[in-house]
A and B are shown apart, each in its own frame.
Chain A
Amino acid sequence: MQTKRSTYQNRWLPFFLLAPQLAITLVFFIWPASQAVKSSFERTDAFGFKTTFVGLDNYARILADPSYLNALGRTAIFSISVTVLSMSLALLLAVCVNRVLKSAKFYTTLLVWPYAVAPVVAGVLWWFLFNPTIGLLPHLLDWFGISWNHRVSGTQAMILITIAAAWKQISYNFLFFLAGLQSVPQSLMEAAAIDGAGPFKRFWTIVLPLLSPTTFFLLIININYVMFDTFGVIDATTAGGPGQATMTLVYKVYTDGVAGLNIGSSSAQSVMLMGIVIILTFIQFRYVERRVNY
């Protein structure tokens, strides 16, 4: 890794400069994470007196546990639906904003602010709109003969958290798609237009392929977001229910560890999650670093 051409010579100063960051990292990140790894190999008896080493038994148990596999599946469904929904809407809006020249800034301002809304608040807002007794949307749906109650129907609960999580993420995806669209060379578009390609053909054959690095980058970021930052959305709306219909991996770590006090199993789940983050980070740095600039 590079430094500057010429650097300062000082024996202690760099360590002083790094000390605060390293101290916090070691105490609040590395140490707890290593504790999680350690207790994922242990089991504590019901009274908390005795801790025994059990090897991979905690992992074997969670992988054989239907409720863990259920959470894995739910997380996959949730991640894919939020990512597809918010990215497609964001792309549509970005393409539109990129077409209007004079009012682009105006529309951008009106579209980016949900980024600053807390996930819990996003959950509360949509939960309120979908509230079976006083919410507006269940009344509308009633006209179409759909009876809405996300406290009973697992599918409807999943739809609710998907909408809430996607709503908050649109602004983020929108900004990155817009930046991507603005870097598409105008000369390319003009050349295609002269060759007789209409707006839709130009979009499919020129713009979309040029956006693929942005799309791939956003894909990773969105999966990361859905897996780890939607705890608040779920806690405010469905709390994992009904049944286990909206139980994601992170929410399960929380309920098993904090409410259920099953430290061994919760730690093993934490370690599995760390594995997922490491893979996502690796993909992001391996492929996104080389983001092609056309």
Chain B
Amino acid sequence: MVENRPFLNILTHLVLIAGVLVVAFPVYVAFIASTHEPSAFVRGVLPLLPGDNMFESYGQMLSSGWKVGGTPPVWLMLGNSLIMALTIAIGKIAISILSAFAIVYFRFPFRMLAFWIIFITLMLPVEVRIIPTYAVVANLGMLNSYAGLTLPLIASATATFLFRQFFMTVPEELMEASRVDGAGPMKFFKDILLPVSITNIAALFVIMFIYGWVQYLWPLLVTTDEDFYTIVLGIKRLMASSDRVPAWNLIMATVTLAMLPPVLVVLFMQRLFVKGLTETEK
């Protein structure tokens, strides 16, 4: 701070507190709604203080789901989301780090072509190739499967670029020394390159985990079988039935449970999250 201005300091804190409250408000209301009995939503405006029905709402959604709403138990959908997010995160990192290693540490024909093919994926988000990608997955018989849910989202130009960028900063001497000691490329990769990349891998993992968790359009297309519903998709199914049976406490309990895992990841791995975010988007 350049100079001390008490009035401005107080104003700063007031703006920040207002900002934090506005950002948190919708989530607070959703959580409060999940703690009430269904009858609380019949007589007009929403309550703003917690009710006493919390354990019933969460218990019912976690254990048996909600038949009228047409969803399986929440733990099953949470499990599917976890499988999807982990597969996408690990898959993206694995295939990108291998391709970046090939592009940086080898000279071979068609190297530029390979790089451009990977680069093009940046320009083809799933939203612009919905129907033909669906056709490919359907022809391969991968509808309603974890492979169909994850494989089409797994190629990643950003992760490849990030690793390429990072490998370029790894000192030349590491590779030369390992080669003098008689280590081949894969031994160098496994014993030296992977360990020095570990922070980057972790940061990328946080971002890709969130990316996988919040996917919606793709699961909506390829899963019709309840057993493969992800939690984010399940919420939409619950919403669709809310006009008939407004069990808001159950819907909002599911919403809260759907937000919890990725938000906790961000809160507890904030340093890695910030690093991953600022480095992947460059």
Give how many B residues have a beta carbon under 8 Å from the other chain's beta carbons.
104
CB pairs A–B below 8 angstroms (11 shown):
A2-B168, A3-B103, A3-B105, A6-B179, A24-B152, A33-B132, A35-B132, A99-B9, A116-B210, A116-B259, A235-B216
Partner of A17, one of B44, B48, B98, B151: B98
Contact A32 B172, beta carbon cutoff 8 Å: no
- Residues 1-44 of A, flagged 1 when their CB comes within 8 A of B and 0 if not, give 11111111111011101101110111111111101100100000
Closest residue of B by beta carbon distance from A199: B8
Q: Which of the residues B20, B155, B255 comes within 8 Å of A107, measured between beta carbons?
A: B20
Q: Is there contact, CB below 8 Å, between B136 and A119?
A: no
12 further A-B pairs in the complex, CB-CB below 8 A; given A4-B175, A258-B221: A6-B176, A10-B185, A14-B106, A31-B136, A32-B129, A115-B277, A121-B255, A129-B25, A136-B48, A189-B2, A258-B130, A263-B131
Q: A interface, by DSSP: helix, strand, loop or mixed?
A: helix
Q: Is the CB of A14 within 8 A of B266?
A: no
What is the distance, in angstroms, from A160's C-beta to the closest C-beta of chain B? Answer: 12
Asked whether, in the complex, the Cβ of A116 is within 8 Å of the Cβ of B127, the reply is no
A124 engages B118 (CB within 8 Å):
no
A3 to B114, CA, bound (A): 14
Mark each residue of chain A from 74 to 86: 1 if its CB lies under 8 Å from any CB of chain B, else 0: 0000000000000
Q: Is B263 an interface residue (CB 8 A)?
A: yes
Is A109 part of the binding interface, using a Cβ–Cβ cutoff of 8 Å?
A: yes
A-B contact count (CB 8 A): 297
Asked if B152 contacts A28 (CB within 8 A), the reply is: yes
Interface SS majority for chain B: helix
Determine the chain A residues whose CB is within 8 A of the CB of B267 once the complex forms.
Answer: 109, 113
- Within the complex, the shortest CB–CB distance from B246 to chain A, in Å, comes to 8
User: Chain B contacts of A189 at CB under 8 A?
Assistant: 2
Residues of A within 8 A of B194 (CB): none
| Distance to closest chain B CB from A39 (angstroms) | 7
B121-155, CB < 8 A from A: 121-125, 127-133, 135-137, 151-152, 154-155
Known: A231-B127, A258-B131. A25 touches B29 (CB 8 A): no
Contact B123 A274 (CB under 8 A): yes
Residues in B10-39 with C-beta less than 8 Å from chain A: 12-13, 15-16, 19-20, 23-27, 29-30, 33
Q: Contacts A1-B115, A36-B132, A134-B46; is A13 near B3 (CB within 8 Å)?
A: no
Question: How many angstroms between the C-alpha atoms of A32 and B152 in the bound complex?
Answer: 10
Q: Which residues of B contact A221 (CB under 8 A)?
A: 281
Cβ of A128 and Cβ of B30 under 8 Å apart?
yes
Looking at B49-57, B61-69, B71-79, B232-240, the stretch in contact with chain A turns out to be B232-240
| 3 closest residue pairs by CB, A with B | A32-B132, A118-B214, A116-B262
B266 and A116 contact, CB distance less than 8 A: yes
Q: Are A25 and B118 in contact (CB under 8 A)?
A: yes
B88 to chain A, nearest CB (A): 12
Q: Are B210 and A7 closer than 8 Å at their CB atoms?
A: no
Whether the Cβ atoms of B129 and A175 lie closer than 8 Å is no
Instruction: Pick the contact of B127: A3, A21, A35, A253 (CB < 8 A).
Output: A253
Which residues of the partner chain A approach B155 to less than 8 Å between Cβ atoms? 21, 24-25, 28-29
Q: Does B95 reach chain A (CB closer than 8 Å)?
A: yes
